[in-house]
Amino acid sequence: MDDAVLIANISQQTFYETFAADNTQEDMEMFLTQQFTKGKLMLEVGRPDLTFLLAYAGKEIAGYVKLREGAAPQGLSTTNVLEIARLYAMKGMIGKGVGKLLMQASLSLAQERKKEAVWLGVWEKNQRAIDFYHRWGFQKFGETDFLLGTDLQRDWLMEKRL
């Protein structure tokens, strides 16, 4: 239960820190209170298709990744995949190797589970994240819609073959 509360709290905090400056306060509040609630996030912990990895700097939480097994979107080169559903570093930890550590752990886990590819979705306006994924060998294979409050946004779908 403690892990569920921690993951829910850092999920909301990192999402807000990452996207608040580029979205309206109304859309952020609607998303966090209706679509991305603490209760919904807590229910994710313990689901058999989800794996959460937490990164720490000493005793301080530095970031996390949410990995999902299951259906793959159309356009992927294989269906034997692992999705990086979320990968976030706490604001004060950005640029300190947390993303690299979480990505390495995600790719290692995918290889242990004998996956052929890893995929993810990233907001088309989040250039820092897109550049990070390109450095890891991810390539765009499609696009999808993402609703943030009332704002319909476009996410790129990216894949890395293993």
Q: For residue 149, what is the domain's CATH number?
A: 3.40.630.30
- Asked if residue 14 is part of any domain, the answer here is no
In this prediction, residue 1 carries a pLDDT of 57
- Asked if residue 82 is part of any domain, the answer here is yes
State both tokens at 111.
Answer: 């290889």
- Asked if residue 87 is part of any domain, the answer here is yes
How many domains is the chain partitioned into structurally? 1
**Choice among 16, 56, 64, 133 that is catalytic:** 133
- Asked if residue 157 is part of any domain, the answer here is yes
Tens-level pLDDT at each residue, the chain (162 residues): 578 888 889 999 999 998 999 999 999 999 998 888 888 888 888 899 999 999 999 999 999 999 999 888 999 988 899 999 999 999 999 999 999 999 999 999 999 999 999 999 999 999 999 999 999 999 999 999 999 999 999 999 999 999
Residue 97 is part of which domain span?
A: 47-161
88 is annotated as an active-site residue: no
- Asked if residue 88 is part of any domain, the answer here is yes
Ramachandran angles phi, psi of 100, nearest 5°: -60, -45
- Asked if residue 32 is part of any domain, the answer here is no
In this prediction, residue 40 carries a pLDDT of 86
Burial of 46 (0-12, 13-18, 19+ CB in 10 A): exposed
Alpha-carbon distance of 137 to 50, in angstroms, equals 23
- Asked if residue 4 is part of any domain, the answer here is no
- Asked if residue 107 is part of any domain, the answer here is yes
State both tokens at 124.
Answer: 């088309």
